[in-house]
Structure 1
Amino acid sequence: MAKATKKQALGRGLSALLKDPENDIQSVSDKNADKVIGNVVELEIDSIEMNPFQPRSNFNDEALEELASSIRELGIIQPITVRKLDFNKFQLVSGERRYRASKLVGLETIPAYIRIANDQESLEMALVENIQRQDLDPIEIALSYQRLIDEIQITQEKLSDRVGKKRSTITNYLRLLKLHPIIQTGMRDGFISMGHGRALINIDKKKEQIAVYEKVVSDGLSVRETERLVKSLKEPQGESNPTKKEAKKVPSFATKGADALKEYLSAKVDITASASGKGKIVIPFHSEEEFQRIKKIVTGE
């Protein structure tokens, strides 16, 4: 208990330091910067503004009330992170749920880590930290990935290293943004899962996407049932279907190998093979960029 009191007192002492005009810290090289930057400081909530780069746009009211109740009983266990904008003025980098819940409770101050960062660094910190959270829906994650790629000018390979996810995982999320907006909204609202969305992506026409989506929701179809429905729509109709007959003759080693290649290349892979083991692999691409990406993976150059 004594340690907690000492820590709180220290945070308040640093807060007073930040309010001293003679100690207006603007960079890590300024006097007393080492006492503040990276440390937990008690900041007035009114001195913190929202982050315009915040990727989260949906907040569950019930979950927010539960967090507010927890803060009311136990206080804030994990400090928020802010960046210094001006004298006694800060901007939220991460921890918006804690910030919102603290305001609901009526707290006047909140513990915060202080960083000095420009807009691009702030955007990257906010996006990367929020991507790691477990309560973002698939579309929010996809939008965060896309913003990092567009605004930070980062490749999927580098993004993979930055967020600790496989490049194929990132690609699968980004593909969700090709879905019709109504379907994206349905995924955000929990009517369908990411697995359903990945199946629906294979339908090229948006009107057909919507028609299948409505059937999935109304009939409560599982992901596997949705995949079979989409596959049936894409297969040629009629009694004679040579493509389907050939597919049945593909040896199991080729079928399993195709799944592994699809995952590794994050691309469609078509394999035909005879019972003797002879066959061919076809990897379609839709742009020079995609071709170069596949080539780099295959050749390592």
Structure 2
Amino acid sequence: MAKATKKQALGRGLSALLNDPSNDIKSAQDTGADKVIGNIVELDLDFIEVNPFQPRTNFSEESLRELASSIKELGIIQPITVRKLGLNKYQLVSGERRFRASKYLNLETIPAYVRIANDQESLEMALVENIQRQDLDPIEIALSYQRLIEEINLTQEQMSERVGKKRSTITNYLRLLKLDPIIQTGMRDGFISMGHGRALITIEDQTIQLDIYEKILSKKLSVRETENLVRNHNTPNNSSSLSSTKEENDAVPKYIKKGINAFSEYFGHKIDVKVSKNGKGKITIPFHSEEDFNRIKKLVEGAK
């Protein structure tokens, strides 16, 4: 018990040091910086802003409530990491779920490691830290790899060393970004696995990708069944069926072609549109489970 009290007192003392206007630490060379870096500091939640470089965009409300319940019972076991921007101003580097859960509980402070980092270092730390997490979906990981390449200018070889992953593993994740955005959304929502996505990548035509994606969902195809279906589509014997799909797509009026993608992206599924010769038509919105139906229902209610 005495050790815990000492640790908390240390945190409060460092917080006072950070909040002193006459000793505002802005770099690792400033006076007192060595006392802050590597130690846990109790920071006011109102002094912390979220990280604009955060690669994770999907935060489950249910999982946040569960985490909040755990924090309420046990406290925050692992401190968050922040970087100092100025006096009483910090930015998250990692730990946004813990930060959000603490805000949900209306806590005043949170234990944090304070780092001195520029934008590029902060981005790299956030991306690498998130890639190591077990609960990221494949698309979030792929987007993190892409940002490391484009914004940090890392090669796949350098990235392999930073994150401890094989280069082939990184390549497989990056290839997922070639899938149609609707399929990427399906993977993020857990409707299909990374194995399904890797099978679909071998088909370049995104219209055909979506056709097979709908079959995977409606027939609940396994990865192996999906691979067989894709293999059949890629054989010369199926060239006629592929061309017929394209012919049907070409028969759709231009004004529908322009608008259908917006519908599909909004509802997260390929929307089926049938048009008769007199110009009248029908729009079909598919769903694949009760959860999926309720998700679409919320979208419609929110648009009212």
TM-score by length of 1: 0.78
Deviation at 1:9, TM superposition (A): 1.0
Secondary structure of the residue aligned to 2:237 is coil
The answer for the alignment partner of 2:214 in structure 1 is: 214
Amino acid at match of 2:165: K
Deviations along 1:140-177, one digit per CA (max 9) or x if unpaired, are 00000000000000100110010000000000000000
Aligned match of 1:263: none
CA distance in 2, matches of 1:181, 1:19: 45
Partner of 1:15: 15
- Partner residue of 1:291? none
User: Hey, what does 2:186 align to over in structure 1?
Assistant: 186
The gaps in structure 2 that reach 5 residues or longer are 239-304
- 1:151 pairs with 2:151: yes
The number of equivalent residue pairs is 238
Aligned to 1:33: 33
For residue 100 of structure 2, what is the amino acid of its counterpart?
Answer: R
Give distance in 1, aligned partners of 2:204 and 2:21: 60
CA RMSD in angstroms, aligned pairs only: 0.8
SS at match of 2:236: coil
Letter in 2 for 1:131: I
The question of 1:137 aligning with 2:137 is answered yes
Ranges in structure 1 where 5+ consecutive residues have no aligned partner: 239-301
- Trace 1:42-191 onto structure 2 (pairs within 5 A): 42-191=42-191
Distance 1:42 1:211 in 2: 53
Q: CA deviation at 1:2?
A: 1.1
Does residue 197 of structure 1 match 2:197?
A: yes
Q: Which amino acid aligns with 1:70?
A: S
The CA deviation at 1:136 is 0.4
Moved over 6 A (4+): none
Letter in 2 for 1:226: T
1:85-112 C-alpha deviation (Å, 9 max, x unpaired): 0111110000000000000111100000
The SS at the match of 2:154 is coil
- Describe the SS at the equivalent of 1:43: strand
- Which of 21-30 and 51-60 deviates more? 21-30
Once residues 60 and 38 of structure 2 are traced to their aligned partners in structure 1, the CA distance between those partners, rounded to angstroms, is 30
How far apart are residue 114 of structure 1 and its match? 0.4
**Which residue identity is paired with 2:210?**
I
| Alpha-carbon distance, 1:215 to partner | 0.2
Percent of matched pairs sharing the same residue: 77
CA distance in 1, matches of 2:59, 2:30: 38
SS in 1 for 2:81: strand
The code of the aligned residue for 1:30 comes to D
Deviation at 1:60, TM superposition (A): 1.0
Q: CA deviation at 1:228?
A: 0.4
- SS of aligned partner of 2:13: helix
Deviations 1:174-229 (A, max 9, x none): 00000000000000011000000000001111100000000001000000000000
Q: Which amino acid aligns with 1:234?
A: N
Between the aligned partners of 1:106 and 1:41, the Cα distance in structure 2 is 19
